[in-house]
Amino acid sequence: MNVMDLIGNTPLVELKKTSSELDGVSIWAKAEFRNLSGSVKDRAAKAMLMEGIDRGLLRPGKTIIDSSSGNTGIAYAVLGAVLGYPVRIYLPANASRERKTILACCGAALVETSPLESSDGAYLAAKAEAEAHPDKYFWPNQYNNDANWKAHYNSTGVEIWEQTAGKVTHFITGMGTSGTFTGTARRLKEYNPKIQVVAVQPDSPFHGIEGTKHIASTIRPGFYDETLPDRFAEINTEAAYARTIRLAREEGLFVGISSGANVAAALDLGRSLPSGSLIVTVLCDSGFRYLSDELWGVDHG
């Protein structure tokens, strides 16, 4: 087996204790922390890099460059090591210490940008550097690369359909680049147009849910389609933190904050659904990437 074959085909797990809070509705989650570098972003990173190689855009002597809040950058770093390419990542300076350490350990060069400008600032800085030196860099541009969402159309959506034996009724997840939501939702809608797809975002431009975007107040990804979601769900940082803690303490799933946000939103959705509904969401990454985050030092009850 090639090490890159460790990307995809992640388990779908039932959140039994979480589902017990609902009346006949079950919540299941894709365990994306089981991917090679430890997050859902492995799927898109692999697709974008392989397409770059196939098109002759990523070739020996070039450096992979992009912006990231952490997970895509880590995926690039790991895959760059496998494929033999150096990696340069622009990320907000307030990204977790663990993410920065992993990036450095995997050999990526880090450029920290203003935390006040969030992921938009990192994106604009990477864009400027890549466009200034096109012969030096391969810029996947994850926010505007169709290979991003197609990775989930070709894998995540297919896996969810097969793992639920076609019984999934709702798919709900947060958006960063919106690639996971877009590709998975499009594939599931092709299987069954009655499946409801729900896009989650923070309820405020100023939030603590790393890896997600408040779409109305940030630069929109090029492939973002606001007509695709059947509905939108907003979640606040406190609810995401609290559910993240409960996933660890009640389900034995030590996952990151965006995963907590997804499950909190899925639970809110489930309260309005009829018995027999089957919700699928995404556990984006591991809690080990956020050990220094203040949420672990707070008693949420």
Give Cβ neighbours of residue 207 (< 8 Å, ≥ 6 apart).
214, 236, 237
Kindly give, in sequence order, each residue whose CB lies less than 8 Å from that of residue 70, ignoring residues fewer than 6 positions away: 91, 95, 96, 99, 100, 103, 210, 211, 289
Residues with catalytic annotation?
Answer: 41, 258
Contact 294, 94 (CB under 8 A): no
For the segment 158-167, the average pLDDT, to the nearest whole number, is 98
Spell out a b/e string for 31-41, using b for 16 or more CB atoms within 10 Å of the CB, else e: bbbbbbbbbbb
> Residues of the chain with pLDDT > 70: what percent?
97
Q: Name the pLDDT band for 95 (thresholds 50, 70, 90).
A: confident
Q: Do domains 3-34+152-297 and 41-138 have the same CATH topology?
A: yes
CATH dotted code for 41-138: 3.40.50.1100
- pTM for the full predicted model: 0.94
Domain extents in the chain: 3-34+152-297, 41-138
Distance of alpha carbon 275 from alpha carbon 36, whole angstroms: 36
Q: What is the pLDDT of residue 180?
A: 97
Interval 224-234 mean pLDDT: 95
pLDDT at residue 129 above 90? yes
Q: How many CA atoms lie within 13 A of 27 on its CB side?
A: 30
CATH hierarchy code of domain 3-34+152-297: 3.40.50.1100
Q: Which range has the top average pLDDT, 76-90, 109-123, 196-210, 217-231?
A: 76-90
Closest CA to 51 of 172, 142, 122: 142
* Pick from 36-40, 59-63, 71-75, 93-97: least confident: 93-97
pLDDT of residue 297: 64
| pLDDT for position 300 | 45
- pLDDT at position 210, please? 76
Q: Sorting pLDDT into bands at 50, 70 and 90, what band is 214?
A: confident
Q: Does residue 18 contact residue 122 with C-beta atoms inside 8 Å?
A: no
